[in-house]
Amino acid sequence: MNQLSIFDQDQFAATAETFIDDLRAFDEFGQRTVTETVEGIPYLINEFWTAGQRQAHSIHEVSYRACFKAQLPEFFINRLTKPGDVVFDPFMGRGTTPVQAALMGRQAFGNDINPLSVLLTRPRLRPITLQAVAAALQTVDWSRGEIEREDLLAFYHPETLRKLEALRLWLAERAPLGGESVDPVADWIRMVAINRLSGHSPGFFSGRSMPPNQAVSVKAQLKINEKLGVSPPDRDVAAVILKKSKTLLKDGCAPSQVRSGLHTGAAWDLRGIADASVDLTVTSPPFLDIVHYAADNWLRCWFAGIDPETVAIDMHRTEEAWTAMVHRVLAEQARILRPSGYVAFEVGEVRNGKVLLERLVWKAAEGLPFNRLGVMVNDQEFTKTANCWGVDNGAKGTNTNRIVLLQRD
């Protein structure tokens, strides 16, 4: 591991101090930061980025349950890195952190235990044009598809399901899973198709279903159909893909010169990432047993050809087990981060604010080579600062981002 000179280390230490000072003085949305110490942990509470929807680059508009907004990684990338630096996320999910890093001219690296994450992220790190997507879709033989799973007719009109099966055959030839050579346009088309599988409007392949960031069971979908008194309508698969592609590309795509690297594996065993190679990690782990990723993504895994039973997504049902997992993750971060590199570790709220996961992360970092800088609470405009220690606005859900800030010694 390369060592920085004493002068360089002092510079980075001053940068961390300046960053915390900037958080204390932050008043961009009309309020100054509230600072307090609770159980020995320094908190900095403010609205640090907007709560408004669709404020980020259009290419981020890919649905995935429990993902954070692009404004979160943007905030830290902008303040703690420079162009060319390496930004990483060991729990990348839909790829918000690496995609935002690429858009900002940083090197975009990510990892996730679910191979679906690479399929959602990789296409948006490459230059793509709507014309190329349209031309590729014209080469699909839509007559090849045969219905293999009758149960999926709960979601799709028979003709739509046949077209999806034809598209799956085309993708297997152009962008095979695990293949060394993947056609970037086919890769893009698969990513868009994965995100149009089930939803609540004509912009999806299915009949009316639950929101697009999770798929209900076949049994539940049949109940929805019965309750609404409807059958899934026939959809123009190519037209749906083109429409969504146009929306995603509205603001352009990532620069072609950006270097990237995406990995599939456990967040505590990042063998593909070299020692001291990362400048900033921005991440958010699974929150205890709140989100059932395998159940939510079963339909996407079917389309992509992924066996969800082979994806070893852990469910940590106790605070002790979750803390132990985070400790292992942070130990691996200590290996891959350069000296004075940063971790922004977001944990949100769970169980209506009764469990404050940031305190477990703070504990998990004990004994590791990190300077624990504090906990930054991005308090959304619809939640008063006075209520940041628990949800008290008559609604369930995540009302704050709670980010543990660490700096590598």
DSSP state, 356? Answer: -
Task: Note the pLDDT of residue 399.
Answer: 62
Q: pLDDT (tens digit, 9 = 90+) per residue, 65-124?
A: 768 899 999 999 999 999 999 999 999 999 999 999 999 999 999 999 999 999 999 999
Instruction: Give the confidence band of 387 by pLDDT, cuts at 50, 70, 90.
Output: very low
pLDDT of residue 318: 87
Lowest mean pLDDT of 303-312, 346-355, 371-380, name the range: 346-355
- Which two tokens mark 208? 């009316």
Nearest to 318 by CA among 262, 373, 360, 255: 360
How far is it between the farthest Cα atoms of the chain? Answer: 71
Q: What percent of the chain has pLDDT over 70?
A: 87
Query: Nearest 5°: CA angle at 205, between 174 and 220?
Result: 120
Please say if the pLDDT value at position 20 is more than 80.
Answer: yes
Q: Which pLDDT score, from 0 to 100, does residue 400 have?
A: 82
Q: State which amino acid sits at residue 383.
A: T
pLDDT digits (tens, 9 = 90+) for 231-289: 999 999 999 999 999 999 999 999 888 899 999 999 999 999 999 999 999 999 987 65
More confident residue, 383 or 307: 307
Q: What pLDDT is stored for residue 268 in this prediction? A: 97
The mean pLDDT of the chain is 88
- Residue 307 has what pLDDT? 87
Distance between CA 159 and CA 153 in Å, rounded?
A: 10
Alpha-carbon span 116 to 125, nearest angstrom: 15
Strands 278-283 and 86-89: parallel
Average the pLDDT over 314-342 and give the result.
Answer: 93
In this predicted structure, what is the pLDDT of residue 309?
A: 76
- Please check the confidence at residue 382 and state whether its pLDDT lies above 70: no
Q: Residue 291 pLDDT more than 60?
A: no
Find the angle CA(356)-CA(405)-CA(403) to the nearest 5 degrees.
40
Supply the pTM of this predicted model. Answer: 0.90
> Which are the contacts of 14, defined by CB distance < 8 A and separation ≥ 6?
none
Look at residues 381, 293, 357 and name the one whose alpha carbon lies nearest to residue 92.
293
Q: Is the pLDDT of residue 2 over 80?
A: no
Residue type at position 126: R
d(CA 255, CA 285): 28
What are the helix (H) ranges across 208-339?
218-228, 237-248, 293-296, 298-304, 319-336
Ranges of each domain in the chain: 6-113+266-291+313-408, 130-248
Strand-strand pairing, 41-46 and 34-38 = antiparallel
Greater model confidence, 381 or 360: 360
Residue 274 to residue 109: CA distance in whole angstroms: 12
Q: Which residues contact 236 (CB under 8 A, 6 or more apart)?
A: none
**199-212, pLDDT tens digit by residue?**
999 999 999 998 77
Give the burial string for 240-265 (b: 16+ CB within 10 Å, else e): bbbebbeebbeeebbeeebebbbbbe
**pLDDT score, position 51:** 63
DSSP code of residue 400: E
Pick the CATH number of 6-113+266-291+313-408 from 3.90.980.10, 3.40.50.150, 3.40.50.720, 3.40.1360.10: 3.40.50.150
Q: Which residue has the tokens 């198709």?
A: 193
- 26-57 per-position pLDDT tens digit: 999 999 999 999 999 999 999 999 766 557 89
- Bridge partners (DSSP) listed for residue 89: 110
For residue 392, the model assigns a pLDDT of: 45
Among residues 18, 22, 45, the alpha carbon closest in space to that of 402 is found at 45
- Cα distance between residue 267 and residue 111, in whole Å: 7
Mean pLDDT, residues 130-140 taken together: 98
Give yes or no for a contact between 365 and 33, defined as CB atoms under 8 angstroms apart.
no
Give the strand pairing for 107-112 and 260-264.
parallel
